[in-house]
Structure 1
Amino acid sequence: MHFVETRLAKLARAGDRDAFEELVQLYKDKIYHLAYRMLGNRQEAEDAVQETFLRVYMNLERYDEQQKFSTWIFRIGTNLCIDRLRKKKPNYSLDAELPEGEGGDWYSMLPSEDATPEDRVIVSETQRQIHRAIETMPDKYKSVVILKYLQDMSLQEIGEVLDMPVTTVKTRVHRGREFLRQQLEKLDSGK
């Protein structure tokens, strides 16, 4: 896959519109999911996807073929989302009343592509709580947690995307999980 994307990026850089369109098709859903989880709003996520691809297109000549295209595009998308989060003031309350639900391992509750409708109903309430908890996370933890558990990236890949040492990524994933655990425990105890 890495080879295919590099070839497409080279063709796109040379002005091949079909090659660029193929890159868009490969990544638009992944970038949308990333943006939606980070921004918590469909319209903003769609805007972030468009802006990501616009930046990719404008900066194709800067793409370094030695690195994975996925790393490069996720870096652009993540940085855009972080910029958007910085610009908007938080409008949530940590003490907002949320319906009770079971705790457990929060990331195992995230929607799976092949979940049955029954599974979705059972976990949908918990998922809603998890997503709300993710929205309340400090930005520095939010991006690593989303890349790790929703994009299924390795610590190494996250380090490359966010341009930070793997040790920092590991610490932030740990603290992010701890933050979410505390938020979900608050919900379970009805605080």
Structure 2
Amino acid sequence: MESKLIEKSIAGDVKSFEQLIQSYNRYVYNIAYRMMGNEEDAKDMSQEALIKAYKAMPGFKMESQFSTWLYRIVINTCKDELRKRKEHILSLDEEIAERITLEQTLESNSGDPLMIYEKKEMKNALDDALNKLSDEGRSVVVLKDLLGYTYEEIGEILQIPIGTVRSRLNRSRSTLRMLLKVQLAE
């Protein structure tokens, strides 16, 4: 089914492309959200990446998985935007962070205020630390630790050797540990 949609999309069929990306929308948004650090930018980058993907469909050679090709476009779109801004990613908007924390609290049915506070503090510290990583470091951490991709898949998505994936991930995790220790000690 997917291969037929890909073939029709390559031929320029908009409806086939819309059907094709429907199952990837959530993953595209999650990658953009982790790369950009906030909801509004994630929506914009997701939309921009999907437009770029549609325009690039005639060049898709089916030599890799469609998902790998698409996720590479999302990551590169986010990196390009960050380079344009020449600034670090903004941390999560406080209102969004509180809404997410409230939703998680309601889902967990945990009424322990101390546990709720600790979870919120840890989430905020992790978001801040993640936003301080380089684009390359954040990419591998998001793909491996948050989205669960293998080293091989990450190498394919980012177009880098597996050894580079491993070293970037190791370096980024060390940096995250150090940043979290400092933030949580404050």
Q: TM-score, normalised by structure 2?
A: 0.81
Partners of 1:6 and 1:68 within 8 A in 2: no
Partners of 2:155 and 2:162 within 8 A in 1: yes
Bigger RCO of structures 1 and 2 (CA < 8 A, at least 6 apart): 1
Shift in Å at residue 31 of structure 1? 1.0
Partners of 1:6 and 1:69 within 8 A in 2: no
Gaps of 5+ in 1: 94-111
Runs of 4+ with deviation above 6 angstroms: none
Aligned-partner Cα distance in 2 for 1:124–1:23? 36
Select which of 65, 84, 89 maps to 2:86: 89
SS in 1 for 2:64: coil
Change (3 A) 1:92 1:63: closer
Aligned-partner Cα distance in 1 for 2:121–2:170? 24
Select which of 75, 78, 93 maps to 1:78: 75
Shift in Å at residue 84 of structure 1? 1.1
Per-residue deviation, residues 73-95 of structure 1 (Å, max 9, x unmatched): 000000011111112233579xx
Match of 2:59 in 1: 62
Q: Letter of the aligned partner of 1:45 in structure 2?
A: A
Match of 1:103 in 2: none
Q: Letter of the aligned partner of 1:118 in structure 2?
A: S
Select which of 105, 126, 140 maps to 2:122: 126
Shift in Å at residue 21 of structure 1? 1.3
Q: Letter of the aligned partner of 2:147 in structure 1?
A: Q
Q: Letter of the aligned partner of 2:108 in structure 1?
A: T
Gaps of 5+ in 2: 91-103
Partners of 1:5 and 1:69 within 8 A in 2: no
Report the identity percentage: 35
Aligned-partner Cα distance in 2 for 1:59–1:88? 24
Change (3 A) 1:91 1:71: closer
Change (3 A) 1:124 1:6: farther
Shift in Å at residue 6 of structure 1? 3.0
Match of 1:13 in 2: 10
Match of 1:188 in 2: 184
Are 1:38 and 2:35 matched, yes or no? yes
Per-residue deviation, residues 141-184 of structure 1 (Å, max 9, x unmatched): 01111111122110101100111000000000011100100000
Corresponding residue pairs, total? 167
Shift in Å at residue 51 of structure 1? 0.9
Aligned-partner Cα distance in 1 for 2:151–2:158? 10
Aligned-partner Cα distance in 1 for 2:35–2:149? 16
For the aligned residues, what is the CA RMSD? 2.2
Match of 1:97 in 2: none
